[in-house]
Structure 1
Amino acid sequence: MSTRRFPLRLGVIAVAAALAACSTTAPYQAPTVEIPAHYAGQPDSNASNASNASNPAWQVASPADAAPRGAWWTVFGDTELNTLEARIDVSNQSVRKALANLAEARATTDYQRAGFLPTITAGVAQDRYRTSANKQGSSLAGKTVPDYSMGVTATWEPDVFGRIRDEVTSANATAQASAADLEAVRLAMTAQLAVDYFNLRSLDAQKQLLDDSVSVYTRALAIVQDQLRNGAIDASAVAQAQTQLESTRTQARDIDVSRAQLQHAIATLIGEPASIFSLPPVPDAQAAQAGFKLPAIPAGLPSQLIERRPDIAAAERRVAAANAQIGAAHAAFFPNLVLSATAGLESSMFAPWLSAPSLFWSLGPQLVGTIFDGGKRSATLHAASAHYDGTVADYRQTVLTAFEQVEDNLSALQALADESATQQRAAQAAQQALQLTTNRFNAGALSYLDVVTSQTIALTNQRDAVVIEGRRMTACVRLIEALGGTWNNNAG
């Protein structure tokens, strides 16, 4: 009898293996998005080519979301910034969490992939049991019986309708999304560090400008005090000089507060307690800011942005994962085929336990399907479809946001370049006006109020020039971040 059933069981296994290639998942296609032909804020192609030729350190992206990202911050040529950025991967806690999330997602993929393989269990047991003496028709009634057993059980569920494969596909896509999330976090943290660093150096330049002005105003106050003692001027000039001096000191002190906050932010980004981290000012902060290298950035084509932005890659991988989950939800409507086999040794006496007569075994398939579940599977399928629609919307919104960020920073860089040129001219003109006003005051042709006014205008214009340069550096960093950072196939 068992001889006739064996070919039947082999046939069931063969059919199961053949059906294992089946899947109820619709073929995946990345969602379509509207991509412009060019950036509205991008300079003409000839200018872009010229900028790229003059700055070979910045390379046009190699479109691929899996390509390694280089140390993009090195294009600014600041050694201290490079040192700080190198600590992001090692000590930044947001990056560490993203790494942990990636490891978790990969472990989930391994867990789902294990579903393709059989599950094998083994056990050894020793029991004693007594059957009721009042049990009729039993030869063991009222007797205590020992039982020694040792067995191995193997179960395997062939992936007939692709449920396991869909779960693996979904988990793998989720792991890829986590990898892209890691790159997005790295890019965000390194960009924020660069922004904070350049803002801090801009404050250093402003502080130096204010400190120099305090020195000048202190000497001016001493001069007008001497003139007051000699009766050359009235007390109003001294009051004006004193007011200007103290007001400038207040502005310089306020710079200290903002600088301390930026220094603390940088400490947190590099994973160091703010209480023990220090980033001292450079000896000549104004010269240091003027020496910052503002790289020319070829924005490339909008289509490249879709492939090199890690957040876009992550959003697209989540769409793929949601699509696979729809297939897994479809597969729940079909029955499950389970193949099981058990073999072992069992005896009521220990001595003959390991002998051939103690052998027992069983082998057989089982086909189980749900007939009625109150609509649970339908609800799960509808939820999976709705989740897929949500991930598509998230993907398209991420793309739209990416284009917005690129356009914002392209426009900002162009506008700030014009502002910088005009502000530099304004600062030079204000300095010339101050010199002329001071000369006329010394000649007795003007009151000291005119000098104070010219000094205030000159300081304001010089400080505005410093602020604009800092904003240009920030916009440059944000544009690099918006473009997805440097992508270089040779980067380590």
Structure 2
Amino acid sequence: MMKHSNAALAAALLLAGAISGCSMAPSYQRPAAPVADAFPAGTPPVGAATTAAQGTQAAIDTGWRAFFPDGRLQQLIETALANNRDLRIAALRIEEARGVYRIQRADRLPTLNANLGESRSRTPGFASISGQPQTSGRFDASLAIPAFELDFFGRVKSLSDAALASYLATEEAKQAAQISLVAEVAKAYYTERAFAEQQVLAESTYDARKRTFDLTRQRVEGGASSLLDLRSNEQQMETARASALALARQRAQAANALALLVGQALPAGTASGAPQPTEDAQADAMSALTAGAPSDLLANRPDIRAAEQRLKSANANIGAARAAFFPRITLTTSAGSASRDFSGLFEGGSGTWAFAPQLVLPIFDTGRNLANLDVSHARKNIAVADYEKTIQTAFREVADALAARTYLGEQVAAQRTVQEAQAERLRLLQLRFENGVASSLDVLDAQRELFTAQQALVQARLLRMSSAIDLYRALGGGLK
């Protein structure tokens, strides 16, 4: 008897494995990318030949260590990848999704339990044949498969496929988070450095205006200048001092933002020391990336891959909703032995078995299954729209970065020319003022315009560096 029961159990397992593989999910078709076949070409700046870097390398093949040669920045990125809480949450989301997928995948195979139990009961005298109370006992040992669903219509398989796609989407989301983190740390670092450079310029401007103020005061005391000139010089001097203090505050706040991204206090010396102006050669090298075709983004951008995995998950859930309209067949079976005494539990003739298939056919559910199917179709349509929007957003980010690459190089060059011209104008006016030919108001005006030109040049350099980082991120760089 025991051999026959084991054979029946094995046959049931083989049958379950053979029939669990169908799916009623729609055949997945990737939606067409709702963007142009090529990125828009930038228009050369008016009145100048463009010097925008021509792409020579792919962003996805360029590791962030090679893209960011600054040693302090590399240290910050390494620390951020290890300590940033948003990235840590993304990693934990992967563990959560992996666990959900493993749970769902386990439902596709039978659960085998080993059972060992004892039961005792007492029958009162009026209910027994002998008229005397009787006590009986029983020992049971068995292997059992509890309520295993025979997946004829692929409901369990569809749920497993949906869980797998959700798990893969979280992995892609973590990669997207890492790319964004690398880019944000770099932009925050260069922003802090730009504020530091502007602060130094403001302090040097204050020193220059203070010298002019002191000279004007001497001339007022000698009767060569008026109090109006003195107060105008004082106003410009204090304006420079206020700008230096404001930039010091902005630099400190930028350092705090950088520390938040890094996930811990900044290493000593990271946001201190003399700031170095952004080198144009470095910006040229960082901008030298091959844009490729928009279709390349589908493979290079993890956020697009994550959106597609979410679409696949929604598509698989349609299969589960469709299968709910059909019968659900479950199988409960067991094989073992039973005896009144524990010593005779495994003796001959004590074998037991049970085979209990069950079929549940939905007949009237007040439209529940139909509503679930409608919901699954709606969620798929939402996932399609989300996928298409993600592609369009990626296309725009690359196009914006390419446009910035086309124009910002010339903008930096033009702003540098403005600064040089203002510096020379101030030098000439200071000579004329010292010789009594020009007024202090002329010098003040030149100092103000030079300070504005210097600050604008720093901002233009920062914009160019930020646009290079944006292009690197938008093309899928930053994982290595």
Above 0.5 in TM-score? yes
- Relative to structure 1, is the Cα distance of residues 408 and 362 closer, same or farther in structure 2, using a 3 angstrom cutoff? same
Q: CA deviation at 1:229?
A: 2.4
Does the Cα contact within 8 Å between 2:330 and 2:357 map onto a contact in 1? yes
2:270 corresponds to which residue?
Answer: 279
- Relative to structure 1, is the Cα distance of residues 277 and 314 closer, same or farther in structure 2, using a 3 angstrom cutoff? farther
- The structure 1 residue matched to 2:296, chosen from 304, 314, 328, is 304
1:211 has 2:211 as partner:
no
Q: Deviation string for 1:302-361 (max 9, x for gaps)?
A: 111122111111101111111011011111222233333312333334443443343322
Does the Cα contact within 8 Å between 2:20 and 2:157 map onto a contact in 1? no
- Relative to structure 1, is the Cα distance of residues 42 and 114 closer, same or farther in structure 2, using a 3 angstrom cutoff? farther
- Deviates most, 404-413 or 167-176: 404-413
1:87 has 2:90 as partner:
no
1:148 corresponds to which residue?
Answer: 139
1:29 corresponds to which residue?
Answer: 29
Does the Cα contact within 8 Å between 1:75 and 1:293 map onto a contact in 2? no
Q: Deviation string for 1:248-270 (max 9, x for gaps)?
A: 01101111111111111111111
1:38 has 2:30 as partner:
no
Q: CA deviation at 1:451?
A: 1.0
2:47 corresponds to which residue?
Answer: none
- Relative to structure 1, is the Cα distance of residues 412 and 140 closer, same or farther in structure 2, using a 3 angstrom cutoff? farther
- Deviates most, 231-240 or 419-428: 231-240
CA distance in 1, matches of 2:318, 2:129: 54
Q: Deviation string for 1:106-143 (max 9, x for gaps)?
A: 222222221222111122223322235554x8779843
- The structure 1 residue matched to 2:54, chosen from 9, 28, 51, is 51
CA distance in 2, matches of 1:287, 1:7: 80
Q: Identity rate of aligned residues, in percent?
A: 30
Does the Cα contact within 8 Å between 1:35 and 1:303 map onto a contact in 2? no
Q: CA deviation at 1:398?
A: 0.9
Supply the AA of the counterpart residue of 2:464.
Answer: R
Supply the AA of the counterpart residue of 1:343.
Answer: A
Q: Equivalences for 1:108-257 in 2 at 5 Å?
A: 108-135=100-127, 142-155=133-146, 156-257=148-249
Does the Cα contact within 8 Å between 1:205 and 1:289 map onto a contact in 2? no
Q: Tell me, what secondary structure is at the counterpart of 1:345?
A: strand
How many residue pairs match? The answer is 472
1:449 corresponds to which residue?
Answer: 441
CA distance in 2, matches of 1:24, 1:162: 6
Does the Cα contact within 8 Å between 1:73 and 1:194 map onto a contact in 2? no
The unaligned stretches of length 5 or more in structure 1 are 62-68
Q: Deviation string for 1:439-476 (max 9, x for gaps)?
A: 22222222211111111111111111111111111121
CA distance in 1, matches of 2:428, 2:326: 92
CA distance in 1, matches of 2:336, 2:14: 26
Supply the AA of the counterpart residue of 2:229.
Answer: A
1:102 corresponds to which residue?
Answer: 94
Supply the AA of the counterpart residue of 1:149.
Answer: D
Q: CA deviation at 1:228?
A: 2.2
1:464 has 2:456 as partner:
yes
- Deviates most, 412-421 or 443-452: 412-421
Supply the AA of the counterpart residue of 1:279.
Answer: T
Q: Deviation string for 1:56-99 (max 9, x for gaps)?
A: xx4354xxxxxxx7533632421111111112221111111111
- Deviates most, 192-201 or 430-439: 430-439
Supply the AA of the counterpart residue of 1:25.
Answer: A
Supply the AA of the counterpart residue of 1:40.
Answer: P
- Relative to structure 1, is the Cα distance of residues 119 and 76 closer, same or farther in structure 2, using a 3 angstrom cutoff? closer
CA distance in 1, matches of 2:222, 2:4: 129
The unaligned stretches of length 5 or more in structure 2 are 45-49
- Relative to structure 1, is the Cα distance of residues 60 and 289 closer, same or farther in structure 2, using a 3 angstrom cutoff? closer
Q: Deviation string for 1:9-34 (max 9, x for gaps)?
A: 99987766554332211211112223
Cα RMSD, aligned residues only? 3.1
1:370 has 2:362 as partner:
yes
Supply the AA of the counterpart residue of 1:33.
Answer: A
1:314 corresponds to which residue?
Answer: 306
CA distance in 2, matches of 1:339, 1:383: 30
Q: Tell me, what secondary structure is at the counterpart of 2:150?
A: coil
TM-score by length of 1: 0.87
Supply the AA of the counterpart residue of 1:59.
Answer: A
Does the Cα contact within 8 Å between 1:20 and 1:162 map onto a contact in 2? yes
- Relative to structure 1, is the Cα distance of residues 6 and 176 closer, same or farther in structure 2, using a 3 angstrom cutoff? closer
2:409 corresponds to which residue?
Answer: 417
